[in-house]
């Protein structure tokens, strides 16, 4: 089903819905160079598809697929999805409906948890893995600043744009503090998540960790870190890089906004990694 709310500035991207079980899930898709596997992108906590569009523009020639998680964006909540493994299983069902067998994965922030889980649960289907500004999970993480930790527990920044524009740079750290207009531009098209969808994602992340099996992941992995990340500090990405079998770490002089503020350089780096 065609999504009539699709942004008109991206004619190469189609927004559609696909039925998974009894739920109509909104997803986006872009066709790239024939023969390369699609890149599946998992977004950050409470984030709808709209905030991914500037980054997707920089991932030249890549086939892309991404979707609004249950209770996020324009996908309704599903009550029996409560854990990170549940989100991974739901993703596999969606990919089966789209007839996508093998793929690369990019997990951003909260989405990095689902990316790691998927790489474990469906290792034969995941080719390469990109983990950006993420961690090994709630009990296996170094948390950010007190402001970041307190604010992430509640979706007030989505409910009030004015409040979100004030607190967002303080949460994200780095360049967001000195260029708050960039943060406002990044977040202005975001769709507020449902309370159920947001709090379910928070609980899922806090109760999950990949530490017991992280060393078992064999996929070639690119880890992206922000040197001044106030939300998920760089120590988390260093841990991932040191524990994973086949990972390399790329560090940018940025905060948690780096997948937007550094998207041109990030796009080149990810493209070279996936293509090479």
What CATH architecture applies to the domain 14-275?
Answer: 3-Layer(aba) Sandwich (3.40)
Domain boundaries, the chain: 14-275
Tens-digit pLDDT profile for residues 108-118: 999 999 999 99
Burial string for 19-42 (b: 16+ CB within 10 Å, else e) reads ebeebebbbbbbebeeeebbbbbb
3-state SS of the chain is CECCCCCCCCCCCEEEEEEECCEEEEEEEECCCCCCCCEEEECCCCCCHHHHHHHHHHCCCCCEEEECCCCCCCCCCCCCCCCHHHHHHHHHHHHHHCCCCCEEEEEECCHHHHHHHHHHHCCCCEEEEEEECCCCEHHHCCCCCHHHHHHHCCCHHHHCHHHHHHHHHHHHCCHHHHCHHHHHHHHCCCCCCCHHHHHHHHHHHHCCECCCCHHHCCCEEEEEEECCCCCCCHHHHHHHHHHCCCEEEEEECCCCCHHHHCHHHHHHHHHHHHHC
- According to DSSP, the β-strands at 14-20 and 23-30 are antiparallel
Q: Kindly list the averaged pLDDT for each block of 10 residues, start to end, along the chain of length 276.
A: 53 92 96 89 96 95 96 96 98 98 98 98 98 90 81 84 90 91 91 95 95 96 96 96 97 96 97 93
Active site annotation includes 109: yes
How much is the pLDDT for 135? 96
How much is the pLDDT for 7? 53
Share of the chain above pLDDT 70, in %: 96
Spot the catalytic one: 8, 48, 63, 109: 109
Locate tokens 């989100």: which residue?
Answer: 87
Tell how far CA 85 is from the center of its chain.
16
């Amino acid at each position: 089903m065609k999504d009539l709310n699709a942004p008109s500035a991206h004619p190469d991207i189609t927004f559609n819905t696909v039925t998974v079980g009894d739920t109509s899930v909104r997803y986006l898709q872009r066709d790239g160079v024939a023969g390369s596997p699609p890149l599946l992108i998992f977004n950050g906590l409470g984030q709808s598809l709209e905030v991914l569009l500037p980054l997707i523009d920089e991932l030249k020639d890549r086939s892309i697929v991404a979707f609004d998680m249950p209770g996020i964006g324009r996908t309704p909540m599903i009550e029996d999805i409560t854990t990170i493994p549940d989100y991974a299983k739901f993703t596999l069902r969606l990919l089966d409906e789209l007839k996508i067998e093998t793929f690369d994965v990019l997990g951003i922030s909260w989405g990095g948890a689902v990316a790691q889980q998927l790489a474990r649960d469906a290792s034969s289907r995941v080719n390469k893995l990109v983990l950006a500004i993420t961690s090994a999970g709630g009990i296996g993480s170094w948390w950010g600043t007190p402001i970041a930790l307190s604010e992430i527990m509640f979706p007030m920044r989505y409910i009030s744009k004015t409040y979100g524009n004030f607190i967002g740079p303080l949460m994200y750290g780095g360049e967001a503090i000195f260029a708050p207009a960039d943060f406002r531009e990044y977040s202005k098209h975001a769709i507020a998540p449902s309370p159920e969808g947001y709090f379910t994602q928070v609980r899922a992340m806090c109760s999950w960790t990949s530490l017991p099996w992280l060393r078992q992941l064999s996929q070639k992995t690119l880890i992206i870190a922000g040197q001044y990340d106030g939300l998920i500090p760089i120590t988390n990405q260093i841990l991932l890089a040191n524990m994973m079998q086949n990972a390399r770490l790329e560090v940018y002089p940025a905060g948690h906004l780096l997948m937007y503020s550094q998207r041109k350089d990030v796009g080149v780096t990810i493209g070279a990694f996936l293509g090479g």
